[in-house]
Structure 1
Amino acid sequence: MSPRSFGAGGVPAIGRRTLLKGMLGAGALAGLTACGSDSGGSGGGEVTLGSNWSDAVPKKAIAEVMGKFSGPKVKINTIDHNSFQENINSYLQGGPDDVFGWFAGNRMQFFAEQGLAGDISDVWKTIGGGFSDAMKQQSTGKDGKQYFVPLYYYPWAVFYRKSVWQEKGYTAPKTLDEFTALSQKMQQDGLVPVAFGDKDGWPAMGTFDYLNLRLNGYDFHVSLMAGEKAWTSNEVKTVFDTWRGLLPYHQPDSLGRTWQEAAQSVLNKQSGMYLLGLFVGQQFPEGADRDDLDFFPFPEIDSAIGADVVEAPIDGFMMSARPRNESGAKDLLKFLGTAPAEDTYLKSDPNNIGANNDADSSGYNDLQKKAQTLVSGAKSISQFLDRDTRPDFASTVMIPSLQAFIKNPNDVDSLLKSIESQKKSIFGG
């Protein structure tokens, strides 16, 4: 990997980085009834947007962006983020909106291959100059056509409140042994060391990913997500054994807690650390509380592998296969692929990094600047477990399996045998 590289405007170009190939997946959007029709076309009138930006901060940011669009009126249909992901397949097979929010890479490719997403290669002829080659790669289907417009990306790291750490004299751990020692000290000081909420099933994937990346390396992680490595291997068993040793430092009863509720325990100075994406800042009120937020990279476990792989998912937009207002949808996507559109979004939700090379980073807060540096200095960049493997495997196997492990971490062998059996059924072989 090359050293830090930046595009215009000071935004790090992702072009020379290795981006994890995987297959994301999701379910179906049963709860969202869109205004699109099955016939497709280029009729006039409003453009509909299926939005999974349902939390207050990103919801407002999306509304601000759409308000800047000079084309047809945009009708925003907002659905709870998790429901959107779980029901995306049914949504796309039904009457989806003209444009919808989704994720880059193989998760995008999965629906493009099924003919459930619209080819927007002509849009990229207009916007392509603003993105790195890697951003374009993550927006391209296996057929070589483009299906996705990136909006922003965000790294996962371990977040904490600076004021709490200064008061207690804590320093950021660089190794897992130091992380464990810090957790023990936090317990002695009356803090829950690690905030944790996995009610929605996906947050724990971040913990698994980082442990696997730090213990077994990037290439193994890629192969495991592709179904090419056995879940019953010693490498994977070591991941769960290591995780089991860390669970006593995690917030208890996590399966009944959302990620937002876990974030509140950090905000309220009840928990000392929290592994999550940069979007955690949405839960910290703008001003002193958000300025008090800081992070450190997930620590090294094996010095031979290091800690230079970062999870940094990319979010953005796609077009349905048969939009009711195709011309309006493509005009909207051309706008959404511009730096001004990203700047508008990030002004309201400064908890991500703009994907366009020309996005204005001059107004980035300290947290965004630090996140930008973290990603640009990474040797390799992964997306996220449920974006890196097959959708059916992520949703039907990994979510319940990780929750089962959290509930009962003492029967790893049986759990991994079950995962491997289901993996073979889904992937074949």
Structure 2
Amino acid sequence: MTQSSFNGSALPRNPAGPLSRRSLLRGAAIGAGAVTLPSLLTACGSGPGGDGKTVTLGSNASDAVPKKAYAQAFSAYEKQSKKTVEVNTVNHEAFQENINRYLQGSPDDVFMWFAGYRMQFFAKKGLLTDISDLWKGFDGFSDALKKQSTGEDGKQYFVPYYYYPWAVFYRKSVFEKGGYEIPRTFDEYRALAKKMDQDGLDAIAFGDKDGWPAMGTFDYLDMRANGYDFHISLMSGEESWTSPRVKNVFDLWRGLMPYHQQGANGRTWQEAAQSLQAKKSGMAVFGLPHPGQQFGATDREDLDFFPFPEIDPAHGQDAVEAPIDGFLMSKKAKNPEAAEDLLKYLATPEAELRYLRSDPNNIAVNESADTSSYNALQKKAVELVSGAKQISQFMDRDTRPDFASTVMIRAIQEFINNPNDVDGLVRDIERQRKDIFAAE
């Protein structure tokens, strides 16, 4: 297996800061080629037609833990198949921002991506290869997983690999020392945050420099206050962002803002997770891999989580955010037979477990996967998701990629900077929603 890597330094620099850079990306998201950005995602294939034994793979696993875990999974495949996997690793955020240009340019044979709407969007644009025939031979995937892997045309395009729930993470020792109790309601959550603040902690670790981490907080506030169905309709462009229900979500969040770490737009999610690990913060809304990657073996048993608290009893804690990651085959694959062979392997429980041995911060999706080696957090994560009445994928996966990357990243970062102008914020979002969704 060979690796090539790009990093965030290749992104265009702008002295005005990340918001201006995000605005510049609008053209890349809506109409590839409208803005001249460097091609960060460049396939490393072997030319038209390929050699039959080499499959190229576009990877967004730029962080150390998942990068190593994927490398071991691909290495196992190479030994078994006698084929070569050429991995093109790109900074995670750069990958997401440039995915449209990548797929319309010279993409790799296979690439990492997300289930649900984010997959359906590119399938509808004709940028993915239909793998329905492969799915006929897959075992161990539930009907729900198949649905998340299916395009609007009823065909399958996605191979699910693992999932991970979002929740509120904390250190048991910090709760024990402070005499803190797990909150079930939003009022209890806010009261706990206030107590932590009085005790000298940053109650809620918070970093949104990368643009997407804060989306998880919005999603849970919306689903808890307005319910899953409204949230999905909002993400689908079917609801107005100026409605009282949406304004209420931002008002609830504004009431929590004094207890979030200040300066979030200048802090990465890794730094926020490290703050939790260092016992400088009391809680953090994250996906399982995020704090998991920052806690070493010596203190991993001290990490725990609880479901995001209830706001409206009518919705309780029914919905759980549990994104599914996996693989797609690009329409322009140069080595389709080799790509199909790799996808067949990645759909097996053995392939999932090979990955999870090095990254125990995710959960296998294949029902035949051996879970006997799961740690306490993984077992608890399975219970959380299996008990959910609804599963969401995450804001930037449940809505159009262009709306997420060019509207909501900027909007949420502006809200973090100034949470007091909710009316102006939602009017701006609504204006852009109409423009973007009208283009469908």
- Output the TM-score relative to the length of structure 1: 0.91
Segments of 4+ moved more than 6 angstroms: none
Q: Corresponding residue for 2:35?
A: none
Q: Which amino acid aligns with 2:112?
A: G
- Change in 2 beyond 3 A, CA 1:131/1:307: same
Alpha-carbon distance in structure 2 between the residues aligned to 1:31 and 1:388:
25
- Change in 2 beyond 3 A, CA 1:77/1:130: same
Q: Which amino acid aligns with 2:178?
A: K
Displacement of 1:318: 0.5
Q: Does 1:101 align with 2:112?
A: yes
Provide the secondary structure at the position in 2 that maps to 1:180.
helix
Q: Which amino acid aligns with 1:325?
A: N
CA contact (8 A) 1:30 1:88 kept: no
Q: Which amino acid aligns with 2:419?
A: P
Q: Which amino acid aligns with 2:126?
A: G
Matches within 5 A, 1:20-419: 27=29, 30-36=39-45, 41=49, 43-69=51-77, 70-71=80-81, 72-127=83-138, 129-419=139-429
- Change in 2 beyond 3 A, CA 1:108/1:38: farther
CA contact (8 A) 1:157 1:296 kept: yes
Q: Which amino acid aligns with 1:216?
A: N
Provide the secondary structure at the position in 2 that maps to 1:275.
strand
- Output the TM-score relative to the length of structure 2: 0.89
Alpha-carbon distance in structure 1 between the residues aligned to 2:168 and 2:295:
19
Alpha-carbon distance in structure 2 between the residues aligned to 1:81 and 1:193:
28
Higher RCO, 1 vs 2 (CA within 8 Å, ≥6 residues apart)? 1
Provide the secondary structure at the position in 2 that maps to 1:348.
coil
Displacement of 1:274: 0.4
CA contact (8 A) 1:42 1:327 kept: no
Q: Which amino acid aligns with 2:230?
A: F
Displacement of 1:42: 6.8
Provide the secondary structure at the position in 2 that maps to 1:212.
helix
Unaligned runs of 5+ in 1: 1-25
Alpha-carbon distance in structure 2 between the residues aligned to 1:81 and 1:292:
28
Alpha-carbon distance in structure 1 between the residues aligned to 2:245 and 2:187:
19
Displacement of 1:131: 0.4
Q: Which amino acid aligns with 1:46?
A: T
Greater Cα offset, 48-57 or 113-122: 113-122
Displacement of 1:36: 3.8
Q: Corresponding residue for 2:24?
A: none
Q: Corresponding residue for 1:3?
A: none
CA contact (8 A) 1:43 1:327 kept: no
Alpha-carbon distance in structure 2 between the residues aligned to 1:283 and 1:35:
28
Provide the secondary structure at the position in 1 that maps to 2:136.
helix
Alpha-carbon distance in structure 2 between the residues aligned to 1:86 and 1:292:
35
RMSD of the alignment, in Å? Answer: 1.5
Provide the secondary structure at the position in 2 that maps to 1:322.
coil
Unaligned runs of 5+ in 2: 1-27, 33-37
- Change in 2 beyond 3 A, CA 1:43/1:143: farther
